[in-house]
Structure 1
Amino acid sequence: MVTSQQIKEKLFSVKFRGYDQEEVDIFLDEIVETLNNLEKENQSLKRQIKRLKSGDDYLL
Structure 2
Amino acid sequence: MINWEELKHIHVIRKLETILAQWFNVEVFFVDDRGSVRNFDAADRAREVRNPLAHHLVRD
Q: Which one has the largest radius of gyration?
A: 1
| TM-score of Structure 1 vs Structure 2, range by shorter chain | under 0.3
Q: What is the TM-score with the length of structure 1 in the denominator?
A: 0.27
| Higher RCO (CA 8 Å, separation ≥ 6 residues) | 1
Could you say which structure has the higher helix fraction?
Answer: 1
